[in-house]
Amino acid sequence: MASRRRPLSIKTGREDSGSGVEEKEGGEGKGTDNGEITEAEEEEEEEEEEEPVSPAGRLFLQPRFNCHIVSVMGCGKRLDVDAVKAGLEVTLVRHPRFSSIQVSDEKPLRWVRTKVNVEDHVIIPDLDPNATSANPDKVVEDYVASLSSTTMDHSRPLWDLHILNFVTSEAAAVAILRIHHSLGDGISLMSLFLACTRQCSDPDRLPSLPDARSSTAANSRSGILELLLWVWAGLVLAWHTLVDVVLFTATLAFVKDTRTPLVGMEGVEFHPKRFLHRTVSLDDIKDIKKAMNCTVNDVLVGITSAGLSRYLDRRYGEGDDVKKEKKRLPANIRLRTALLVNIRRTPGIHALAEMMEKGKGGGAKWGNKLGYMVLQFPIAIFEDPLEYIRRGKAIAERKKNSLEAVFTYWSAWVIVKIFGIEAAAALCRRMVTHTTVSFSNIVGPIEKIGFCGHPVVYIAPSVYGHPHALTLHFQSYTNTMKIVVAVDELTIPNPNQLLDDLTESLRLIKDAIPRS
């Protein structure tokens, strides 16, 4: 049974954070004049403590789509376990999803608030000290890989934090936060994590993200011209959406990606995954963005196309006679990503901090509200490295003028309502297995942050439990970008080579941009 709890007052590092309970004149708490909880307030609290699991959340609980988010975080000093537990108590534990379990009895599957024992969620593994001193990076890599072959206890809230208190090549200690994907989408969960941190330079301030406003200057136009442009934009949007819906339906029905060395075997979602990451310069990516008049995401699509092309060219050439010349990569390779798109406005960091401070949802909407978008990566060897950016920009711009993700979200909702979650899960899995790679770009803070008083050196998120052999994430943090890959080693036995190809592609593209 869920425990009955009233929101408590907490401190977030600000002197004016105040109480989570609004006080009346005379010091009485919220409720009647004698401090009792009214029937209406009790019903409101009951409603807050029980909420149906969203269709997307139920999808991520299906046996062949049992997805978990795992984020490796490097810290600049040894982790004080007691300080971490105390910090979690006043932040993450107060979030409704992180203090709820999933219950299904006579009612549909729903979230029910429960008492959280932080001791159950903070795990300090007993590792061989000889191994951690000899090759600490390999120990971390092996440990994170081992998590992908374990399940979480559904009798407790579906998250845990693993602390590895030894020095690695990049950090003084490592924390691994694992969260079941049914709790929320990756963007919302990253925003929530940031709401649990503070700026290192000012421990009273929340992190800040890059300005998302468009850099394009607005042009003054006449009313008629403005109207014509809006009409034309609407027609283009409708046409692109129609085309994308037809192609999406064809992918569900019969259009599969080319069978390359990146495509996993049947049942790949059950295989343990290997997680690796590499740090590159965000300034280099911004230089390319500026030179090519595009966005950071356009550049990342181009880098991914170039890196995957280099890797596949090598794999196809394995065993060839050295005298055989180039052209190892087959023409017309179809290689696409099943891109999850959050169609709900992500709660802001301040709204999430307030949510945790009050211990209830408030006005910040939460959960998975996701649609799919199918995006193709050009696979070819171009003499001009900048051609990857040009094509990546064209692909990304084309997808921005489409409501494909909105259509797929509402289509899935209708399918769940009519045929049930099992039918929706089967269709989603079919669509994912007809593509090759999972791809994501998550924006991080622009300044150094601290987690429970510990400076964060890097953030490397990924996911496992879905039927792809390759998952590729980009995570920005201050002036760096982490490239994170999660691979099935039976399919991709040399993931470090893949990271080498991605970083080398970035270097070649950076060197090719025109110099002013």
* Sequential DSSP letters for 69-116: EEEEEEESS---HHHHHHHHHTTGGGSTGGGEEEE-SSS-SEEEE---
pLDDT band of residue 233 (cuts 50, 70, 90) is confident
Q: Which amino acid is at 43?
A: E
pLDDT band of residue 41 (cuts 50, 70, 90) is very low
Q: What is the pLDDT of residue 337?
A: 93
Between 450 and 108, where is the model more confident?
Answer: 450
In angstroms, the CA 219 to CA 450 distance is 42
pLDDT band of residue 508 (cuts 50, 70, 90) is very high
The closest alpha carbon to 136, from 173, 91, 162, belongs to 173
Residue 181: active-site member: yes
The closest alpha carbon to 342, from 469, 477, 188, belongs to 188
Give the pair of three-digit tokens for residue 231.
């009409």
Name the one residue in this structure whose structure tokens are 């200057």. 217
Give the pair of three-digit tokens for residue 255.
């259009």
Is 41 contained in some domain? Answer: no
pLDDT band of residue 34 (cuts 50, 70, 90) is very low
pLDDT band of residue 385 (cuts 50, 70, 90) is very high
Other C-beta atoms lying within 10 Å of the C-beta of residue 123: 14
Is 401 contained in some domain? Answer: yes
Is 28 contained in some domain? Answer: no
Q: Which amino acid is at 500?
A: D
Express as a percent the part of the chain with pLDDT over 70.
84
Q: What is the pLDDT of residue 343?
A: 76
The DSSP 8-state label assigned to residue 463 in this structure reads E
Out of 1-5, 14-18, 207-211, 475-479, give the one with best mean pLDDT.
475-479
pLDDT digits over 124-148, tens only? 999 999 999 999 999 999 999 999 9
Contact call for residues 102 and 51 (beta carbons, < 8 A)? no
Q: What is the pLDDT of residue 288?
A: 97
pLDDT digits over 87-122, tens only? 999 999 999 899 999 998 777 899 999 999 999 999
CA distances from 273 to 102, 439, 463 (A): 26, 16, 9
The DSSP 8-state label assigned to residue 330 in this structure reads P
Q: Model pTM?
A: 0.85
Q: What is the pLDDT of residue 147?
A: 96
Contact call for residues 355 and 361 (beta carbons, < 8 A)? yes
Marked catalytic residue, from 68, 121, 162, 181: 181
Name the one residue in this structure whose structure tokens are 């049992």. 66
In angstroms, the CA 263 to CA 434 distance is 9
Taking 90 as the threshold, does the pLDDT of residue 80 lie above it?
A: yes
Is 382 contained in some domain? Answer: yes
Contact call for residues 3 and 115 (beta carbons, < 8 A)? yes
pLDDT band of residue 363 (cuts 50, 70, 90) is low
Q: What is the pLDDT of residue 365?
A: 64
Q: What is the pLDDT of residue 298?
A: 94
The predicted model gives 14-28 an average pLDDT of 34
For 51, the enclosing helix (H) or strand (E) is: strand 50-52
The predicted model gives 423-442 an average pLDDT of 93
| Region of poorest pLDDT, from 198-207, 317-326, 419-428, 440-449 | 317-326
Q: What is the pLDDT of residue 22?
A: 33
Q: What is the pLDDT of residue 516?
A: 60
Q: What is the pLDDT of residue 15?
A: 35
Taking 80 as the threshold, does the pLDDT of residue 487 lie above it?
A: yes
Q: What is the pLDDT of residue 2?
A: 39
Dmax over Cα atoms in the chain, in whole Å? 90
In angstroms, the CA 144 to CA 276 distance is 10
Q: What is the pLDDT of residue 327?
A: 52
Taking 90 as the threshold, does the pLDDT of residue 46 lie above it?
A: no
pLDDT digits over 163-203, tens only? 999 999 999 999 999 999 999 888 888 888 998 999 999 98
Between 164 and 410, where is the model more confident?
Answer: 164
Question: Across the strands, what pairs with 483?
Answer: 278, 474
Q: What is the pLDDT of residue 209?
A: 84
Q: What is the pLDDT of residue 10?
A: 30
pLDDT band of residue 23 (cuts 50, 70, 90) is very low
The closest alpha carbon to 190, from 479, 463, 410, belongs to 463
For 372, the enclosing helix (H) or strand (E) is: strand 370-376
In angstroms, the CA 345 to CA 342 distance is 8
In angstroms, the CA 50 to CA 375 distance is 37
**What average pLDDT does the chain have?**
85
pLDDT band of residue 12 (cuts 50, 70, 90) is very low
Express as a percent the part of the chain with pLDDT over 90.
64
In angstroms, the CA 240 to CA 99 distance is 42
Q: What is the pLDDT of residue 302?
A: 96
Q: Which domain holds residue 423?
A: 224-319+326-348+361-439+478-512
Question: What is 269-315 written as a DSSP string?
Answer: GGS--EEEEEEEEHHHHHHHHHHHT--HHHHHHHHHHHHHHHHHHHH
Alpha-carbon Rg for the chain, nearest whole angstrom, is 24
Helix axis angle, 282-292 to 386-400, nearest 10°: 80
The predicted model gives 401-427 an average pLDDT of 90
Is 486 contained in some domain? Answer: yes
Is 144 contained in some domain? Answer: no
Between 37 and 181, where is the model more confident?
Answer: 181
Is 455 contained in some domain? Answer: no
CATH number of residue 261's parent domain: 3.30.559
* Total length of the chain: 516
Report the domain count for the chain: 1
The DSSP 8-state label assigned to residue 472 in this structure reads E
In angstroms, the CA 458 to CA 140 distance is 14
pLDDT band of residue 25 (cuts 50, 70, 90) is very low
| Region of poorest pLDDT, from 57-61, 305-309, 338-342, 422-426 | 338-342
Name the pairing type of β-strands 197-199 and 454-464: unpaired
In angstroms, the CA 451 to CA 428 distance is 36
Q: What is the pLDDT of residue 33?
A: 43
The residues, ordered by sequence, that sit 6+ positions from 480 with a Cβ below 8 Å of its Cβ are 279, 280, 281, 282, 458
In angstroms, the CA 380 to CA 374 distance is 19
Taking 60 as the threshold, does the pLDDT of residue 404 lie above it?
A: yes
